[in-house]
Structure 1
Amino acid sequence: MADAGTARAEADRGDRSGVRTALAGLTTRGRSFLAAGVAAALCAYVLGQSDLLRVGLLLAALPLLCAAVLHRTRHRVAGSRRLSPARVPAGSEARVHLRTENVSRLPTGLLMLQDRVPYVLGPRPRFVLDRVEPGGRREVSYRVRSDLRGRYPLGPLQLRLTDPFGMCELTRSFSAFDTLTVVPRVTPLPPVRLSGEAKGYGDGRQRSLALAGEDDVIPRGYRHGDDLRRVHWRSTARYGELMVRREEQPQRARCTVLLDTRYIAFRGAGPESAFEWAVSGAASVLVHMLERGFSVRLLTDTGTSVPGEGSEGFAGASQESADAAGLMMDTLAVIDHSDGAGLSRAYDTLRGGNEGLLVAFLGDLDEEQAAVVAKMRQRGGAAVAFVLDSDAWVRERTDVPGPVHGTGERLRMLRESGWTAVEVPRGASLEEVWRRADRERTGLGAASGTGFGTAGAAGHGEGRS
Structure 2
Amino acid sequence: MGWKSRTSFKNCSPAPQSASWHRMEKIPRFDSRNALSWVRSENSTPAILRRLRLDLLTVRGWCVLGAGIFLVFLAFMFGRHELMALGISLVVLAGISWALALGLRGRTRIQRQLLSAVPSAGEVCRVQLHCLEPATIQEQLPEGFGRGPMLDTPGELEYELIFGRRGIHQLGPAQQIVSDTLGLVRGMVNTGETLEIPVRSELMDLHRLASLGEQMLTGDARHSRSTTADYYDVAIRDYQQGDSIRQVHWKASARQGKLMVRQENHVATAQALLILDTKFEHWCHSGVDLRLSIPGGSNEDLPSSRRFETALSLASGIGLRYSTGGYQLSFRDLSGAPLTSQHRQATSDAAADSDFDSFHAATAELALDASGPDTNASELFGDGLHKELLGFRDEPVIMIFGELTVAQARWLATLARTVRLAEVFILVAHPERYDSVQQELAGTGWKVHLLPGTMGAAGMWGG
Give the TM-score band, short-chain normalised.
Answer: 0.5 to 0.7
C-alpha separation in 1, matches of 2:437 and 2:233: 55
C-alpha separation in 2, matches of 1:53 and 1:433: 75
1:295 paired with 2:289, answer no
Q: Counterpart amino acid of 1:362?
A: F
C-alpha separation in 1, matches of 2:229 and 2:323: 26
1:185 paired with 2:203, answer yes
1:385 corresponds in structure 2 to: 424
1:117 paired with 2:142, answer yes
Normalized against structure 2, the TM-score is what? 0.62
Unaligned segments of structure 1, at least 5 residues? 1-20, 212-217, 394-401, 435-465
| Equivalent of residue 440 in structure 2, options 405, 410, 418 | 410
C-alpha separation in 2, matches of 1:70 and 1:36: 21
Q: Map of 1:239-318 to 2, 5 A cutoff?
A: 244=261, 248-266=265-283, 267=285, 268-269=289-290, 273-310=306-343, 315-316=348-349, 318=350
Q: Counterpart amino acid of 1:99?
A: H
1:420 paired with 2:447, answer yes
Mark the structure with the bigger radius of gyration. Answer: 1
C-alpha separation in 1, matches of 2:418 and 2:262: 32
Q: Counterpart amino acid of 2:440?
A: R
Normalized against structure 1, the TM-score is what? 0.61
C-alpha separation in 2, matches of 1:311 and 1:79: 39
Cα distance per residue 1:430-450 (max 9 Å; x no partner): 89999xxxxxxxxxxxxxxxx
1:137 corresponds in structure 2 to: 155
Q: Which moved more, 1:294-303 or 1:242-251?
A: 242-251
Deviation at 1:303, TM superposition (A): 0.9
2:240 corresponds in structure 1 to: 228
Q: 1:290 and 1:36, CA in 2 relative to 1: closer, same or farther beyond 3 A?
A: same
Q: 1:313 and 1:327, CA in 2 relative to 1: closer, same or farther beyond 3 A?
A: same
Q: Map of 1:30-429 to 2, 5 A cutoff?
A: 30-36=61-67, 63=94, 66-67=97-98, 70=101, 76-83=107-114, 85=116, 87-92=118-123, 94-102=125-133, 108=135, 111=136, 113=138, 115=140, 117-118=142-143, 121-123=144-146, 125-126=147-148, 136-137=154-155, 139=157, 141=159, 143-146=161-164, 148-169=165-186, 171-189=189-207, 192-193=213-214, 224-226=236-238, 228=240, 231-234=243-246, 244=261, 248-266=265-283, 267=285, 268-269=289-290, 273-310=306-343, 315-316=348-349, 318=350, 323-338=354-369, 339=372, 341=374, 342-345=379-382, 346-352=385-391, 356-377=395-416, 382-388=421-427, 390-392=428-430, 402-404=432-434, 406-412=436-442, 416-425=443-452
C-alpha separation in 2, matches of 1:411 and 1:312: 36
Deviation at 1:98, TM superposition (A): 3.4
Residues 108, 191 of structure 2: 8 Å contact kept: no
C-alpha separation in 2, matches of 1:387 and 1:233: 58
Q: Counterpart amino acid of 1:152?
A: H
Q: Specify the SS of the correspondent of 2:119.
A: strand
Cα distance per residue 1:254-310 (max 9 Å; x no partner): 121222233343432359944333322211111001111111222221212243444
Deviation at 1:250, TM superposition (A): 1.0
Q: Counterpart amino acid of 2:64?
A: F
C-alpha separation in 1, matches of 2:406 and 2:421: 22
C-alpha separation in 2, matches of 1:129 and 1:208: 56
Residues 177, 189 of structure 2: 8 Å contact kept: yes
Deviation at 1:149, TM superposition (A): 2.9
Residues 132, 155 of structure 2: 8 Å contact kept: yes
2:43 corresponds in structure 1 to: none
Q: 1:282 and 1:65, CA in 2 relative to 1: closer, same or farther beyond 3 A?
A: closer
Q: Specify the SS of the correspondent of 1:307.
A: coil
2:5 corresponds in structure 1 to: none
Q: 1:69 and 1:367, CA in 2 relative to 1: closer, same or farther beyond 3 A?
A: closer
Deviation at 1:192, TM superposition (A): 3.3
C-alpha separation in 1, matches of 2:100 and 2:460: 67
Q: 1:172 and 1:384, CA in 2 relative to 1: closer, same or farther beyond 3 A?
A: closer
Residues 88, 181 of structure 1: 8 Å contact kept: yes
C-alpha separation in 2, matches of 1:231 and 1:383: 45
Cα distance per residue 1:75-101 (max 9 Å; x no partner): 642223344546433345545543343
Alpha carbon RMSD of aligned pairs, Å?
5.0
Residues 226, 394 of structure 2: 8 Å contact kept: no
1:398 corresponds in structure 2 to: none
Taking CA–CA contacts closer than 8 Å with sequence separation of 6 or more, which of the two structures ends up with the larger relative contact order? 1
Q: Counterpart amino acid of 2:359?
A: M
Q: Counterpart amino acid of 1:113?
A: Q
Residues 358, 377 of structure 1: 8 Å contact kept: no
Q: Counterpart amino acid of 1:122?
A: F
Aligned length: 376
Q: Counterpart amino acid of 2:271?
A: R
C-alpha separation in 2, matches of 1:329 and 1:220: 28
Residues 219, 326 of structure 2: 8 Å contact kept: no
C-alpha separation in 1, matches of 2:227 and 2:429: 47
Cα distance per residue 1:329-363 (max 9 Å; x no partner): 12234334334534222323323455711122233
C-alpha separation in 2, matches of 1:93 and 1:228: 57
C-alpha separation in 2, matches of 1:411 and 1:431: 27
Cα distance per residue 1:392-438 (max 9 Å; x no partner): 15xxxxxxxx34362233222xxx3342333335678989999xxxx
